Amino acid sequence: MAKTPSASSVALEPDGPQPGLRPGSDAPLARYVGSAVKGTFWTAGALIVSLAILAPLLVAGGANVIDGYAELFSATFGSFFGFGLMLVASVPLILIGLGVAVPFRAGLFNIGGEGQLLMGALLAVYVTTAAWGGGPGAFFIPLVVGFLGGAIVGGLPGVLKAWRGVNEIVTTIMLNFIVLFFIQWLLTGSLRAEDQTFAASEAANRGFRLDRLVGGHLPLGFVIAVGVAIVVYWLAQHTRAGWRQRLVGLNLRLSARQGISVPRQYFVALALGGGLAGLGGAAELIGNQFRIGPNFSPGWGFTAVAIALLARGNMLAVVPVAMFFGLLQNGESSLQANLGIPGNLVLALAAAPVIIVAAVIGYCSYRRAIMEPPDD
C-alpha cells in the first residue's frame, strides 16, 4: 500500500500555482514560481512543436512551406477583420474549456461539453425569440439562462457520480447524444423557423445580441469570456471552495479527513463545469450565429477537452490555448481556399500538443511513483 501523503506534500504536488503556495507561506517562493514556469514551458513548447509539424503536412499537400505559414498567420494577423474572426472563434472555446478545466481540477473528466453547450444555446433561443425584443443589458438574460441549462445537464452526471458512483465519462458522453437528438427532434417541429429552407430556429432578437467594440473588431463575447476566466481563476486559487475542489482532486482520503464532503464537491464541480459550457453555447448564439441548427457546434465540446489538458487545470491558461485553437480554425479556411490544403489537415495539428503534454504528464507521474518512499 502506498504511503498516504501529508497535507504539505499534497499541496506541492500539482503543476502551477496552488492555494497555500503564495509568497510568504511555508513553501519557498522559488518552488512556487518554478512550478508555474515549468507548466507554462511544456504547454508553450507543445504548441510550438505542433506548428513545426505543419511543415511536412504542407509538403504532403503539395504546397510551399513558407506560403503555408504565411497564409496561416495572415488569416488572423493580416487584418483587424481576421483578428476579430479569431476572437469570435475563441469565445465558445474559452468558456467550454473552462467547463472542462473546473471538473478536471477536482479529478473528474467532463466529456459532455457538447451537450451542455447545446442545451445552453437551446434555452437562450427560447429567451431571445420571445415576445419581448430585449434592450440595453438584456444579453445577460440568455447568458444566465444558458448557464443554468448547462448546469442542469452537467449536474445530472454529478448526482450519479456523487451518490451512485457512476463513471462521469460514460454519463456525460451519453448525455451529448440525448441533447443533440432532442434538439434535432425540436428542429423538425416547434423550434423550426417557418421562413427557413433548412432546419434552424428563429433568429435571436437584436435587443439580446452581443455588440462588437473597437470599430466592430472586438467582440463583446470575448471580453465576457476573459472576464469569466479571471473570476473562475480567482475562485479556484484564492477561496476555500477552490481549495476543497483541488484537494478532492489530489487525495480523496485526505479530503475526507479534512471534513470535506467528496460527493458534494463532485456534484458542484460537474454542475459548475456544465454551466460554463452552457454559457459558452449561449454566448455563441447571441454573439455570432444567432440561430441554432443541427450543425451549431463543430465539436467544441471535444476540442475543449484538449484545451483543458493543455492548460493543465490553470483557468487563465485556458484563454491563450483557446486562442491558439481559434487561430488554427481561422487559418483552416484560408489554407483551403488559397493553397488547396484540406482543412482537416490543419486541424490535425490540434492533436500534436495534446499528445506531447499527455506524455510529459505521464512521465512525471511515473517518476513520482518510482521515487515515492516505501512504507515504514
Separation of alpha carbons 323 and 344, rounded Å:
18
Q: pTM value?
A: 0.84
Specify the pLDDT at position 96: 96
* DSSP symbol at 18: -
Residue 25 has pLDDT above 60, yes or no: no
Using one digit for the tens of pLDDT, what is the confidence trace for 325-363?
888 888 877 787 777 777 667 667 666 677 776 776 666
What angle in degrees, to the nearest 10, is found between the helix axes of 140-164 and 113-128? Answer: 140
Residue spans of the domains in the chain: they are 9-371
Cell of 147: 448557464
Per residue in 199-225, is it b (16+ CB within 10 Å) or e — as a string? bbbbbbbeebbbebeeeeebbbbbebb
Using one digit for the tens of pLDDT, what is the confidence trace for 278-325?
999 999 999 999 999 888 998 899 889 889 888 887 899 999 999 988
Q: How far is CA 355 from CA 114, 147, 303, in A?
A: 22, 31, 14
Using one digit for the tens of pLDDT, what is the confidence trace for 224-251?
999 999 999 999 999 999 999 999 988 8
CB atoms within 10 A of CB 159: 16
Specify the pLDDT at position 37: 57
Residue 19 has pLDDT above 80, yes or no: no
| Backbone phi, psi, residue 218, to 5° | -110, 105
Separation of alpha carbons 75 and 66, rounded Å:
14
Q: Please name the fold of domain 9-371.
A: ABC transporter involved in vitamin B12 uptake, BtuC (1.10.3470)
Q: Across residues 144-167, what is the average pLDDT?
A: 94
Cell of 19: 492555494
